[in-house]
Amino acid sequence: MSGMPPSLAPAAKPGAKPATRRVAESRDQADRARLDAAMRGFISDFGPEAAVYMEACLHCGQCAEACQFYVETGDPKYTPIWKIEPFKQAYSREMGPFAPFFRAFGLTPKVTLGELEGWQELLYDSCNMCGRCSLVCPAGIDIADLVEKARHGMFEAGLVPGDYLGALAGKEQETGNPFGISREDVRRALLEIGRSHGVEMHVDEPRAAVVPTVSSIDLKMYPASIAATARVLNHVGASWSFRTDGFDADNVSLTAGDRTGQRLVTEAIVDAATRCGAEVLIMPECGHSYTEMRWEAANTVGHALPFRVLHMSEYLAECLDAGRLKLRPVTPDPEGRGVTFHDPCQLSRRSGRSDAPRKVMAALGLDLHELADHGADSWCCGGGGGVALINRARPLRDKAFAIKRRQVADTGAGTVIVSCTGCRQTFEHGFKDAGGETGVGSLLDLVAGQLEEDGKTP
């Protein structure tokens, strides 16, 4: 209408606002709604534990030296405690003991949507929620837990990175798994893996003492690991079954900050395992889903779980102790380079089970060359906490991975053994991008290849 003669243009109605002003006001309203949603998300997490953490920070900076994003970049904005600054700011103004005073005198300003948009990189792109900062904090603040809580508010405000992390979390809430795979397709895929790998599969059995969950990533990228699970469970004589009504162990929603999706995935797994009378639920070689099921699921579903939750490495170690898992030693590396092992953060640091995979590796007779920092002190692979699912974070992720690449090279090992699917992907991509020749192997896959069957290796 800008090219229309004034005499032919329709007259504006009395009191009408220019279209641009209406659009601006609409955006303002939408922004206020998003900010209000973020504040509600923040405030809902301000329980006694979070309040103690908020008040306890000594501003000593020790957490910075524990974060590989800070160590590898030298940028102070990656200091872990700084990543939750908007969360702390909202607490001080809305829920802290001096909140009325801070509000009355304007000592703590309101958190703005612009601040949250600027903090998206710090809460998502540059945090693995690995817990290394929590480990070294002299005040005992679980910074990783606070980051997880801060992500809840970010999700409510629609501030999850919108590529793979946001998209997969949305699909997970909608369908129960991040790739939208139907139950029938899961069943067909599991049975086909059994046929192609020559292993007996148990799917949706009415009764099963042991229920192994499945990572959708394994279904698509590492089906041999699913076959390895079946082969091990058959070997130890377990009554077991995969379930298609609650199979997915990725729980991308947890790392995205989507509490609704996180609860739906957890409830599906708990209900499926309960229906068939499971005594043990095995989480696959995956990270944050194990932490959710082991330490948070009872609170998520509102009752104690009727079964034990074990990481695959823990289950293998228990079967060794019980004499049900019998392994042949691995043939020594002819070049004498041996292997090294990457400790997954959620098993070794967050759950204190660095011993389980090492017990298994000892039974395999592996020549283990430990990394300079291992066990609870191990550095994250750099892709955890959903960082591997954020495209724009790749340059920063590569910088963070450099510390692992150096430490692996220092061991002289020819292969890195991992017990986490996410770590496996990060190492494979990291070594490939750097042009290295170091191999990457799954501990579970290695075990499945060394089972002692009538004196023969299958």
pLDDT of residue 15 exceeding 70: no
Q: How confident is the model at residue 47 (pLDDT cuts 50, 70, 90)?
A: confident
Specify the pLDDT at position 199. 98
Band the pLDDT of 285: cuts 50, 70, 90.
Answer: low
Nearest CA-CA partner of 273 in 252, 254, 294, 246: 246
Q: Residue 289: is it exposed, middle or buried by C-beta count within 10 angstroms (0-12/13-18/19+)?
A: buried
What would the mean pLDDT of 116-140 be, rounded to a whole number?
A: 95
Tokens of residue 229, six digits: 């699970």
> What per-residue confidence (pLDDT) applies to 458?
37
The structure's pTM equals: 0.89
Name residues whose C-beta falls within 8 Å of residue 140's C-beta, 6 or more positions apart in sequence. 56
CA distance 363 to 141: 37
Q: What is the pLDDT of residue 22?
A: 41
Mean pLDDT of 270-276: 97
What mean pLDDT do residues 28-49 have?
85
pLDDT at 18 over 80: no
Higher pLDDT, 85 or 456: 85
In terms of pLDDT, which residue wins out, 9 or 112? 112
- Kindly tell me the sign of the dihedral angle through the C-alpha atoms of 225, 230, 231, 237: positive
Q: Check pLDDT > 50 for residue 392.
A: yes
Q: Looking at the predicted structure, is the pLDDT value of residue 452 above 80?
A: yes
| Distance from C-alpha of 245 to C-alpha of 255, rounded to nearest angstrom | 22
Q: Write the pLDDT tens digit of every residue in 198-233.
A: 999 999 999 999 999 998 889 999 999 999 999 999
Residue 26: which pLDDT band, with cuts at 50, 70 and 90? low
Contact 244, 183 (CB under 8 A): yes
3-state secondary structure of 402: helix
- Closest Cα partner for 396 from 82, 18, 121? 121
Query: 381 pLDDT band (50/70/90 cuts)?
Result: very high
Residue 24's pLDDT band (cuts 50, 70, 90): low
Percent of the chain with pLDDT over 70: 92
Find the mean pLDDT for residues 374-403. 95
**How far is 416 from 402, CA to CA, in rounded Å?**
15
Note the pLDDT of residue 10.
34
Confidence at residue 248, expressed as pLDDT on a 0 to 100 scale? 87
pLDDT 10s digits, 334-344: 788 899 999 99
3-state secondary structure at position 198: coil
